[in-house]
């Protein structure tokens, strides 16, 4: 009898208890604070580059794919590796590529990057009149007062300065515009398809090109 009374009281108490209400918890940190945290970052973007050649070196607009990988080290600094592949379209198409190491300083929402790396060109036709190489029996470096190579495959040193303003969409995604300046020095090579009669080594033409670039772009970032 006492057990039945106890169970009845327990059931009555349970049935009259207030229902539990689910409440949405508040975000612990904002999206901006989440992006200031240390951790891995990956970025993918598009760039429109206007390339200017020095001393007659071929130039023109390029459409570029940008890939950047790295890490946010602390609230002020990040370190990235950047890859850029640009294509020149039109009558004389060509490729331009670069790989850089990019320390980045965070100034509030603005990011300032200074990078250094390797860049190069692959051009099957430069539009220049071919250098007369009928008497050459060894490789030769052309003067850089005007671009005389009719094709180019080569690489050299590149330095860049970039301003970027990524805007967080949420704690995992950010997007924003990019303004980039570059200076590039390239050792171009044109193969003549002939060999040195004494050594058997291929005869090539070489020339050093200087370029600078102003690029606008748009990046999408994930963390």
Structure tokens at 104: 């980045």
Tokens 């430069």 sit on residue = 126
Helices (H), 16-152: 31-35
Is the model's pTM score more than 0.85?
no
Taking a C-beta distance cutoff of 8 angstroms, is the pair 84, 69 a contact?
no
What does the pLDDT profile of the chain (223 residues) look like in tens digits?
444 444 454 445 444 555 666 555 555 778 888 898 999 999 999 999 999 998 888 889 999 999 999 999 998 999 999 999 999 988 888 999 999 999 999 998 899 999 999 999 999 888 777 666 667 777 878 887 666 788 889 999 999 999 999 999 999 999 999 999 999 999 998 887 777 666 767 788 888 999 999 999 999 999 9
203, 137 contact by CB (below 8 A): yes
Phi, psi of 9, deg, nearest 5: -65, -40
With tokens 């200017």, the residue in question is: 52
| CB of 49 closer than 8 Å to CB of 222 | no
How far from 170 is each of 46, 80, 144, 173, CA to CA, in Å? Answer: 21, 21, 51, 5
Reported CATH class of domain 28-222: mainly beta
What CA–CA distance (Å, rounded) separates 167 from 27?
Answer: 19
What spatial distance separates the first Cα and last Cα of the chain, rounded to whole Å?
A: 65
What does the pLDDT read at residue 27?
Answer: 54
Q: What is the pLDDT of residue 167?
A: 95
90 backbone φψ class: left, alpha, beta (φ>0; ψ -120 to 50): left
| DSSP letter for each residue of 49-83 | EEEEESTT---EEEEEEEEEEEEE-SSSEEEEEEE
């Amino acid at each position: 009898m006492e057990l039945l009374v106890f169970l009845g009281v327990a059931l009555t108490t349970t049935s009259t208890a207030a229902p539990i209400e689910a409440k949405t918890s508040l975000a612990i940190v904002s999206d901006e604070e989440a992006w200031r945290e240390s951790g891995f970052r990956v970025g993918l973007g598009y760039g429109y580059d206007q390339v200017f050649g020095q001393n007659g070196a071929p130039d023109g607009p390029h459409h570029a794919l940008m890939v950047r990988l790295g890490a946010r080290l602390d609230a002020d600094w990040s370190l990235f590796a950047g890859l850029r592949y640009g294509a020149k379209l039109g009558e004389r198409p060509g490729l331009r590529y670069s790989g850089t190491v990019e320390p980045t300083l965070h100034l509030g929402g603005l990011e300032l990057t200074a990078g250094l790396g390797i860049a190069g060109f692959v051009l099957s036709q430069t539009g220049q009149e071919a250098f007369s190489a009928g008497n050459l029996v060894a490789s030769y470096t052309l003067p850089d007062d005007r671009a005389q190579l009719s094709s180019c495959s080569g690489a050299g040193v590149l330095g860049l300065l970039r301003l970027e303003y990524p805007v967080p969409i949420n704690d995992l995604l950010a997007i924003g515009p990019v303004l980039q300046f570059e200076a590039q020095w390239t050792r171009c090579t044109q193969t003549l398809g002939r060999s040195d009669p004494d050594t058997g080594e291929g005869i090539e033409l070489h020339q050093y090109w200087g370029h600078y670039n102003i690029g606008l772009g748009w990046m999408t970032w994930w963390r």
